[in-house]
Structure 1
Amino acid sequence: MNSAFSYNFPALRGVQGGKEYFVVMVPLRLIPKIFLFDEEEIPPEHRSQRILNKSRVPDITNYMLENSKEYVFSSLTASIDGQIEFQSFSDNPNFKDLGNLIVSLDSKFLINDGQHRRAAIEEALKISPELGEETISVVFYHDYGLSNSQQIFADLNRHAVNTTSSIGILYDHRDQLAMLTKEIIAETPLLERYTDKERVSLSKNSPKLFALNHIFNTNQKLLGKKKGEFISEQEKTFLKDFWFSLIGSMTEWKQVLDKELNPRELRANFIVGHGVFLEAIGVVGNYLFYNYPSDWNKYIEKLSTIDWNRSNRKDWMGRAYGQTGRINKTNQTITLTANLIKRKLTLPLTEQEEEMENLLKQGV
């Protein structure tokens, strides 16, 4: 192959499934130029990857730009459809897999995994061209046709397991709300002892009361914030005070802490052991924060007078759970549960909440 009309990448050669593959470092400035996407209008059976979800790209771009000194991207995986040649640097058996990967200029590079990172890199370079000299590792496979590229994509994703949102919060050391949520848990004996920091839902026999993502979601609702938004000192103080007041007002939670009731019994018999209650309380707390900033806690103290038992079908059926008795956490059940809590605390409903109540009465 004529090296004057080719790409040359320093590469490390490996073997998987009897086939060679190559790991190279590619400057970011080259990523948008050499890696192509399948066009969206091509039918799925004739593509080797899923359609780009453009809504994901800005978040990845912002992550890269806002953390330009410490962002981390995993390797891209791509297929090369064209002529390639590997030239080893040495005949020494210890170094025979170190060399140059030579790829003809008319080759096509097709990303099998990492198309959203590729798109984000392209957008980030428009704003910060200096990032173009940095590199990303790319794993290259030689493309033996479309069916092979499709199989690579399928194999790469076959055993992929998405991390839970709880794990994402636990490992997030940038987002203010994630950090504050973990701080509140660490400082609160009940939450520290009974929060599952990995799972997003708890089995009926779980020894825990809460999932980390439920507490995080509740905090989002309490402040009316989205992930990544700024949190003021006033809001931080409110969150900590709110959880202290809430825990002090929940008789059933105190019984668990005092070993008078176990988490399994609490979940089986009371709605306060479920995410729908927590997030509904978040809705109520947000209303109190903005409308009763100086005396919101007196309303929270009244929560101890409410009958939270699941046998209280008059209050909770059609709100926290349906005819089957199974508790489901949806936007509708959260709102309807919050509505009843507000009424029991003698708080007015918003216009939107009144509309939801009317729909409930109509059986919609």
Structure 2
Amino acid sequence: MSLDDNVLTFTAIQGIQAGRQYYSVMCPLKVVPRIFVFDEEEVPPELRAQRTLNKSRIPEIARYIVDNPKDYIFSSITASVDGKFEFVPYGQDGTSRNLGTLKIPMTARFLINDGQHRRAAIELALKERPELGDETLSVVFLHDAGLKRSQQMFADLNRHAIRPTKSLGILYDRREPMAELCRQVVDDVTVFRDLTEVEKTTISNRSNKLHTLSAIYQATQTLLGKTKRSKVNAEEVKLAVEFWEEVGKNVPDWQLAVKKSVGCAELRRDYIHAHGIAIQALGGAGAALLAEEPKQWKKRLTALRKINWSRSNPEWEGRALVNGRVSKALVNVTRTTNFVKQTLGVAATSKERQAENQVKSKKRA
């Protein structure tokens, strides 16, 4: 890319989609914030060509670049050019007619159709790592055919853009220590190894899986008191594996599922322990138990055998159940955690006691 006589010049590949030309170029990162703009927030939605910028997303994307300067990857930005531009092919025959130079005057207006958050994150990341400015990002240029066309392009570009499930993200994430720990837990814990759904965050009625990777991840985070970016050591991995292995020994139905003596679908239908709220509650109660009883916690976990996990148990209404249906709401997770804590003889927090009193008040009413 070069800038001569107020003209941006790119080596480009020309292509055709729906009868319209488009051009793929490599743009230096340091140029991206200077030439690309997005609609101002005060413009009404019906007069914009895309959504407003979600500023809360930008620091996380920028941190991804900064923390992984040798191993980050970005998909292309798609932008429309409002103004005249010229494509000069290297030749007139074969592939040479689609390879050439794209010349765009600096007076032209560039409108991002897809990638405005990447653009803002690049600008922020370059302030911390300016040496990345000479690296490149692929950009697809199209001719601006007006607001209606730009709005339709935005809709089309995002129509089939589906974020991967949380479980699948954890399965494939090789950067995050907690994701690595969670995969290790699933591999090493008997009741997780062959019974965990690693792609979806929900389990279908006929599935032969009992847990989701995302639920185990969240519960293990709570168990160890970790955040998404927390570092993890070998002792914590060992502790997590030992804890969940011990929990599994004290939920007999899980052992039956491992032996295939009972179907997972049957357990989900009839028992609370076959739902993510139970895993989360066990993780929360486990964190308190480990803090209170760092030496004898395994012995204390045997009390889990006293819990009647059946959905017909009236104790679950207002806790794990709301009108007979399993609820994942935070207040229900808190109440279910408190119930497990009571069984284990672990002291509840003031917030948990308050949530428990609300359950008792409703039952008396």
TM range (shorter): over 0.9
CA distance in 1 between counterparts of 2:361 and 2:115 reads 48
CA distance in 1 between counterparts of 2:6 and 2:205 reads 64
CA distance in 2 between counterparts of 1:348 and 1:45 reads 55
Matched ranges for 1:203-282 at <5 A: 203-282=204-283
CA distance in 2 between counterparts of 1:69 and 1:359 reads 52
CA distance in 2 between counterparts of 1:5 and 1:118 reads 22
Is contact 2:190-2:245 (8 Å) kept? Answer: no
Deviations 1:106-131 (A, max 9, x none): 11111111111111100111011110
CA distance in 2 between counterparts of 1:196 and 1:150 reads 38
CA distance in 2 between counterparts of 1:179 and 1:51 reads 35
Deviations 1:242-279 (A, max 9, x none): 11111111101011112221101111111010000000
**Match of 2:298, as an amino acid?**
N
Please say if 1:321 is aligned against 2:321: yes
Is contact 1:3-1:102 (8 Å) kept? Answer: no
CA distance in 2 between counterparts of 1:344 and 1:3 reads 75
**Match of 1:318, as an amino acid?**
G
- In the superposition, relative to structure 1, how do residues 292 and 146 fare at CA in structure 2: closer, same or farther (>3 Å)? same
Once the two structures are TM-superposed, the CA of residue 234 in structure 1 deviates from its matched residue by: 3.2
CA distance in 1 between counterparts of 2:280 and 2:159 reads 34
Classify the secondary structure of the residue corresponding to 1:11. Answer: strand
Which residue number in structure 2 is paired with residue 346 of structure 1?
A: 345
Once the two structures are TM-superposed, the CA of residue 236 in structure 1 deviates from its matched residue by: 2.1
Once the two structures are TM-superposed, the CA of residue 362 in structure 1 deviates from its matched residue by: 4.0
CA distance in 1 between counterparts of 2:251 and 2:357 reads 30
> Which structure 2 segments of 5+ residues have no match?
none
CA distance in 2 between counterparts of 1:289 and 1:51 reads 45
Classify the secondary structure of the residue corresponding to 2:80. Answer: strand
Stretches (4+) displaced over 3 A = 361-364
Is contact 1:11-1:23 (8 Å) kept? Answer: yes
Which residue number in structure 1 is paired with residue 126 of structure 2?
A: 125
**Match of 2:352, as an amino acid?**
E
Once the two structures are TM-superposed, the CA of residue 186 in structure 1 deviates from its matched residue by: 1.4
Greater CA deviation, 292-301 or 144-153? 292-301
CA distance in 1 between counterparts of 2:283 and 2:293 reads 15
TM-score (normalised: structure 1): 0.96
CA distance in 1 between counterparts of 2:353 and 2:190 reads 37
Once the two structures are TM-superposed, the CA of residue 21 in structure 1 deviates from its matched residue by: 0.6
CA distance in 1 between counterparts of 2:199 and 2:165 reads 7
CA distance in 2 between counterparts of 1:280 and 1:198 reads 22
CA distance in 2 between counterparts of 1:144 and 1:257 reads 60
Classify the secondary structure of the residue corresponding to 1:227. Answer: coil
Which residue number in structure 1 is paired with residue 293 of structure 2?
A: 292
**Match of 1:284, as an amino acid?**
A
Which residue number in structure 2 is paired with residue 310 of structure 1?
A: 311
CA distance in 2 between counterparts of 1:3 and 1:178 reads 48
CA distance in 1 between counterparts of 2:361 and 2:19 reads 65
Once the two structures are TM-superposed, the CA of residue 3 in structure 1 deviates from its matched residue by: 6.6
Please say if 1:357 is aligned against 2:356: yes
TM-score (normalised: structure 2): 0.96
Once the two structures are TM-superposed, the CA of residue 230 in structure 1 deviates from its matched residue by: 1.3
> Which structure 1 segments of 5+ residues have no match?
none
Matched ranges for 1:30-45 at <5 A: 30-45=31-46
Is contact 2:288-2:346 (8 Å) kept? Answer: no
Once the two structures are TM-superposed, the CA of residue 189 in structure 1 deviates from its matched residue by: 3.5
Is contact 2:284-2:337 (8 Å) kept? Answer: yes
Please say if 1:15 is aligned against 2:16: yes
> Across the two proteins, how many residue pairs are aligned to each other?
361
Deviations 1:46-93 (A, max 9, x none): 111111111111111111111100101111111111111110011222
Deviations 1:273-318 (A, max 9, x none): 00000001111011112222122222222111211111112x1011
CA distance in 2 between counterparts of 1:163 and 1:210 reads 18
Which residue number in structure 1 is paired with residue 200 of structure 2?
A: 199
Classify the secondary structure of the residue corresponding to 1:246. Answer: helix
Deviations 1:107-166 (A, max 9, x none): 111111111111110011101111000000011111011111111100101122211111
Greater CA deviation, 120-129 or 299-308? 299-308
Once the two structures are TM-superposed, the CA of residue 206 in structure 1 deviates from its matched residue by: 1.1
CA distance in 2 between counterparts of 1:305 and 1:12 reads 69
CA distance in 2 between counterparts of 1:236 and 1:256 reads 25
